[in-house]
Structure 1
Amino acid sequence: MKKFIKKFLLSSLVVSSIFTSVSGFTVKATELPPVYSEGAVLMDGRTGKVLYSKNEHTQYEPASTTKVMTALVVLENVSLTDKVTIGEKPPQVDGSALGIQKGEVYTVEELMYGLLLESANDCAEALAEYVSGSNEEFAKLMNAKAKELGALNTNFKNPSGLHEDGHLTTAYDLALIMKAASHNEEYVRISQTESYKYVNQPFSDGSEKWATNRNQLLNEYSAYYYGNTFCGKNGYTPEANHAYTAAAVNGDQMLIASFINATDKDNFYTNIGPLFDYGFDNFETIKLISANDELDTYKINEDITIPLLAKSDFYYTKAKSDKTPLYSLEYDKTDISKQAISLGDTLYKVKIVIDGETVSTIDLISGTNREYDNKIKLQENLLEFIKKPMNIASIVLALFIFFILIKFIIYFIKRRKLKRKYSKFHRYKS
């Protein structure tokens, strides 16, 4: 891990060369290289914007790139320190294997090393049985996670990627899955490991058991090594052909690439690095909005306004040759004037529009506190009543009528008093 980080930091300081050798000829690093797979996607690792695609939504078998999803599901459902007793079925699985045996006990983390470094199918099935009891039940978790990530054209049947009818994904879906994995710290840590020794579980003949990283672009001794590789997973079956998915980092920019159904192995792997270079050279992801930026205000009255702040950062991926875009906000500003508001309350969800297209949404939160008790409510209701023209006229009319009534009352009281005096006077005279 330390060796990889050292290599990564050094490679990040080196400027990409202007020319890259590709399949016997030379292309500029800023030009799109040939892509030797039937399905392919190059995606920004932060925003998810697709920078290049080829049959991005066409379904193909993913082979062992399946194990990226297997790892995500395992990491979300059990602890790495859990102990797994190997059952009868995992050691009998076809294809690549670590060599685990029935009755042996491994931690989840140890099986994850076998899963991601050696691409071991026996480890994949052992983990699936531990999490869900069977491959079939585990596949349900895989498919649920795929839908959660937006991988809507994916259907997993097993945790290993071995050929099975209906076990399919797309280049776009695989990129989404790799994007999620590249932001999972435990996945990255394990998948970057160069090798792992099973100290407590040697082979039955006493020889050492190791898991060695088979990632074609991460291994510096590989003919396909690419210095900016961050993490990834390769795969192959006779039915699926070659598949690969990876994340690469250059400075603070991350790109995700996925490739499915490639038959020309050498050209396929040779051109993955140049495709990443094409993305890094031609595109950039910029922060258009920072968390707590004041994007709007809500006016309650002349004395009270509520600052509306961005709840989170918003990043936008664009061609380096394009200018920084202008954006607008679209949302229904519903009435919030009759409620108490606390600092940080989410008040609105708004659309971010660039060039007439909604590119994302963001929450607006309150930048202040606002009390709203019964006393304030009564005061506001009274002010609102007084301010309305009809109500003012009604009040004036009522006051006028009240004034007239008072006048009449005073007149009748005076007249009554006069009558009494007059009556007393006549009684006195008589």
Structure 2
Amino acid sequence: MKKLARFLCCLMIATSLLLFDINFAYASSDFPNTNGKAVILMDFSSGRVLYERNSNQQLPPASLTKIMTGLLVVENGNLDQKVIISEYAASIPESTVYLEPNEILTRMELLYAAMLPSANDACTALAESIAGSEAAFINKMNRRVQQLGLKNTNFVNPHGLHDQEHYSTAYDLAMITREALKNPVFTEVVSTKRTVIPWESREDEDRILLNQNRLLSRYEGAIGVKTGYTKQAGNCVVGAAQRGSTILIAVSMNSPTVYDDLQQMLDYGFNNYKTLTVGNAEEISGEIKVKGGEFPTVKVEPKEELKVAVTDEEALYLTYIVNFESGVQAPIKKGDVLGTCELYIKDNHIKSIDMIASQNIDIKQSVIKTIVSSSQESLSSKWSTILGLAVLFIGYLNRKKLEDGLKRVLLYLLRNHIPNQTKKF
């Protein structure tokens, strides 16, 4: 009996261990298997984080820095503008395209050099062209970081050469990339595998620029974005891919298997999530009352489409709540934020989208006339008071002369208006 009990007990333990191994294996295969020190998978449409590990840890970003540099270049425009290469830009070391002092290239040519072979000298030349100096450009980089609401990034150069005060996170880099990919010029550049730019001092030779991002040739639907490496940062890559309407951004920092990390995360994302549009612009739009405006109401609409990557199960619980401001006052400019649209899955907040004015609303003319009339009346009243006070003040200063004058007036009146009482005898 004891032997039978022991046998059944051993059988139960073995079965439990087998089931545990099966469940553990299933969980491991369901989530990405990554080796980066910090990794993240983000939905481009909504900014929703689909997978992450240590994504807010501050780390050296190496040449992933150039994503911000590229963003500022395309945002400032005039990409055909010619740039004269400074001695300082030509002296920047390590990864370069061997720019020469006084050589002339366009901003677009330098942008390709910065983003494909990751040329540090091209980044410095662009910084000087855009902002006047490298230092001024770095200020622009950090202001743009603040505008994006990012808290764990600080740049001290435009290229990513190591510095203790130069750092970012997987999350912040994904958000910077998301902003940059909204610009079609940036997207075109980082998805280019090969291009050629001039080499002024070599008449029979051009610079051949090859994109170092191997994801472009290794992963279906890859659209960029940027590689990076320093001894301190290790191998780092930001990758992005599109399948159908879904665009995903994957970041792996300091990883011995950086491309495997990206493929694992992207596969996980495309296998489990699809992009849905919640409602449409007309359904979400509304009108709110305007005080003192030429029109009684203003139409308010979402700043962007409500798109989000969700699983099939999450799609059943996707909802949104629109909040409008009440009693807004004219004038209103087109694009003014007058509310928000909050996106939820069950009780979990996913995204907030600004609701903006679709038109300008000027102040009503009658209101303007009332304000002007009131101002004029107020001004007239003020001038009357001032003049009265001035007269009194002058009178005070000349009170002796006034007294003598009044006496003369009184004597004149007495002589001419009092009856003559002289008697004749």
- TM-score, length-scaled by structure 2: 0.69
Residues 42 and 255, structure 1, Cα contact 8 Å, conserved in 2: yes
Tell me, in whole angstroms, the C-alpha distance in 2 between the residues paired with 1:171 and 1:127: 25
**Hey, what does 1:241 align to over in structure 2?**
234
Q: Is the 8 A contact 1:27 1:33 kept in 2?
A: no
SS for the counterpart of 1:279 is: helix
Alignment of 1:109-258 (within 5 A): 109-199=108-198, 201=200, 203=202, 206-218=204-216, 220=217, 225-258=218-251
The 3 A distance-change label for structure 1 pair 110 and 357 is same
Give the Cα separation in 1 of the matches to 2:297 and 2:125.
55
Cα distance, 1:131 vs. partner?
1.9
**Sequence identity of aligned pairs in percent?**
30
What letter matches 2:154 in structure 1? N
- Equivalent in the alignment of 2:271: 281
- 1-side partners of 2:210 and 2:354: how far apart? 43
Conserved in 1, the CA contact under 8 Å of 2:337 and 2:354? no
Alignment-derived partner of residue 272 in structure 1: 262
Relative to the length of structure 1, the TM-score reads 0.69
Mapped to 1, the partners of 2:198 and 2:325 lie a distance apart of 62
For 1:145, give the aligned amino acid: R
**Corresponding residue number in structure 2 for 1:292:** 282
Output the CA distance in 1 between the equivalents of 2:243 and 2:81: 35
Which residue of 1 is the match for residue 321 of structure 2? 329
Give the letter aligned to residue 126 of structure 2.
L
* Contact 1:80–1:107 (Cα < 8 Å) also in 2: yes
> Partner residue of 2:307?
315
- Aligned-residue offset at 1:78: 4.4
What stretches of structure 1 of length at least 5 have no aligned partner?
Answer: 1-25, 375-430
Provide the residue aligned with 2:355 in structure 1: 363
Q: 1:289 to 1:158 in 2, by over 3 A?
A: same
What amino acid does structure 2 have at the position aligned with 1:281?
N
Paired residue type of 1:226: Y
SS in 1 for 2:278: strand
Distance of 1:185 and 1:61 partners within structure 2? 28
Whole-angstrom distance in 1 between the partners of 2:313 and 2:154? 39
| Counterpart mapping for 1:89-108 below 5 A | 89-108=88-107
The AA in structure 1 aligned to 2:131 is S
Deviations 1:327-353 (A, max 9, x none): 3536466357xx9999x9979414426
Higher helix share: 2
- 1:87 CA drift (Å): 0.9
Q: List gaps (5 residues or longer) in structure 2.
A: 1-24, 291-295, 367-425
Cα distance change, pair 68–294 in 1 and its aligned pair in 2 (3 A): closer
Change (3 A) 1:201 1:286: same
Contact map agreement 1:29 1:277 (CA 8 A) in 2: no
- Aligned-pair distance for 1:215? 1.0
- Contact 1:242/1:261 (8 A) holds in 2: yes
SS at the partner of 2:108?
Answer: helix
Q: Deviations over 1:387-407 (max 9, x none)?
A: xxxxxxxxxxxxxxxxxxxxx
Deviation at 1:62? 0.4
